[in-house]
Amino acid sequence: MPDRQKPLSRRFSVAPMMDWTDRHCRFFLRLLSQNALLYTEMVTTGALLHGDAKRFLQHHVSEHPLALQLGGSNPDELAACAKMAEQAGYDEVNLNVGCPSDRVQNNMIGACLMGHPQLVADCVKAMRDAVSIPVTVKHRIGINGRDSYQQLCEFVDTVHQAGCHSFTVHARIAILEGLSPKENRDIPPLRYDVVRQLKSQFPHLEIILNGGIKTLDECQQHLQTFDGVMLGREAYHNPYLLAEVDQRLFGNPHAVPTRLQTLEKPRPYIETHIAQGGAMHHVTRHVLGLAQGFAGARRFRQLLSVDVHKAKDPLAVFDLALQQLQGH
């Protein structure tokens, strides 16, 4: 677990992604970068307060620095959940004001909250009063019907007044009617210029850029303007990108691990997971993107996505997959 006295770095982070950034995914990503800030999938306040909180909060000590993303809009419930996050050892709690799903809209969770800046501010204040770990917000640059730059500034200023100093901004609006969550990640145009303007207007706030970033060269370029960058789908589909993050973005001199070196490490973790009644593919489904563009890559993905389900000895399949990474 990181030193709580040391300020949390958001220079590079991996976005919260539903069905993807579970604890097994985060364990794997941490093998590639020691410095990246990792986020959980969004967890709703209802799930934590009325469901299996232990399961939702479970994580491996190696995952730190680690943030829990919450979905909700009731200040008291969010405060209670933030307290649970702090007690479970999380380093940050983040409020989701960016998810455009209809499923969450009906419950006043996610991007629809951009239309209610004072409520978001009340939620942030309640969480900040309840915990000593940082409380941050992830949001869009607007929603349909409320997408002017002035309204974005009003939102950020109102939430800042409640004590939030770090904003992760997805540089697209969310269109809450007519587009699916998937379409909302692609169809609204990226507007880095709007987030750039926001940073120049609020230079004292930490502004993290999110949306459409695909390479470390782009990260380095954006870091000349912004305080941090957050990658989502690219980090999941092309995880080996993270192998150079510590060296290129944090100045750490240690050698970049090979793909083989990276994937040799989680074998004991997988053995433990199987011994506890879990299936190997719970872990290995997250590593498929590690092999791309070289001989053996396709076989690697087939072994861990197809053959593993038919195998009596899944660890033997894992070892076969490792062989495909020789020299890479």
What is the residue-level pLDDT of the chain in tens, covering all 328 positions?
444 446 799 999 999 999 999 999 999 999 999 999 999 999 999 999 999 999 999 999 999 999 999 999 999 999 999 999 999 999 999 999 998 865 555 578 999 999 999 999 999 999 999 999 999 999 999 999 999 999 999 999 999 999 999 999 999 999 988 888 888 888 899 999 999 999 999 999 999 999 999 999 999 999 999 999 999 999 999 999 999 999 999 999 889 999 999 999 999 999 999 999 999 999 999 999 999 989 999 999 999 999 999 999 999 999 999 999 999 9
- Cβ neighbors of 69 (< 8 A, separation 6 or more) are 16, 39, 40, 41, 42, 43, 93, 94, 95, 96, 138
Q: What is the DSSP letter of 155?
A: H
Strand partners, 44: 71
Cβ atoms of 69 and 109 within 8 Å: the answer is no
Residues 93 and 253: their CA atoms lie apart, in Å, by: 30
Catalytic residues, by residue number, are 99
Q: For the whole model, what pTM was predicted?
A: 0.95
Query: Cα(130)–Cα(10) distance, rounded to whole angstroms?
Result: 22
Compute CA 306 distance to the chain's CA centroid, rounded to the nearest angstrom: 27
Please tell me the distance from the alpha carbon of residue 192 to that of residue 188, in angstroms, as a whole number: 12
